[in-house]
Amino acid sequence: MKQAGLLAGVGLLCSYLLSMIPGAGWVFSLVGLVLFLVGVHKISQLTNQREIFNLFLLPVILGFVGITIASIMVIGAVMRTMMTGGFGIASLGVTTILVMVVSVVLLIISLISYVKAYRLLAQVTNMNIFNTVASLYKWGAILLIVFGVGAILMFAGVIVAMVGFFSMEERSASQ
């Protein structure tokens, strides 16, 4: 369990902190994502709770789906503008609104999945720190919408999650 927690913690570190390095950040982000998912997968296997991995995997899949949908919509709007020979603010405006709506829906689903995953992880590992992470994510999202400062709480949630994963202990098969 300790090794799996270490993988997940290093994955979060790469995904969130090292991804800010200019130029190479995207590489750290992808490597971190893979390490995090491998660590969480090992934790779900060790605890016989496949749902933990599924709940963490869903936001990753939705993120890629969202990026793909947004890219297709924007490329379509630009192509339509180029084919009509003019700059169609209206078509770009509709596309922007649709991309925003789809993005918000996917983000809400992802957030709910993360909160459920961290709550289940807290329950299965008996580590209350993951309940704290779930609360920070939830309140961070609410405050992000209301006041725009929730990103700080969500970032704090990532830091607390790293601490939780790094502090996991070995677990015997009987636990």
Q: How distant, in Å, are the alpha carbons of 48, 61, 116, 147 from that of 102?
A: 34, 14, 21, 21
pTM score: 0.82
List, as one string, the DSSP characters of 38-90: HHHHHHHHHTT-HHHHHHHHHHHHHHHHHHHHHHHHHHHHHHHHHHHTS--HH
pLDDT tens for each residue of the chain, 175 residues long = 889 999 999 999 988 888 788 888 889 889 999 999 999 999 999 999 999 999 999 999 998 898 888 888 878 777 777 777 666 566 567 777 888 888 888 988 999 999 999 999 999 999 999 999 999 999 988 888 777 788 888 889 999 999 999 998 865 344 4
Q: Would you say 118 and 134 are in contact if contact means Cβ atoms under 8 Å apart? A: yes
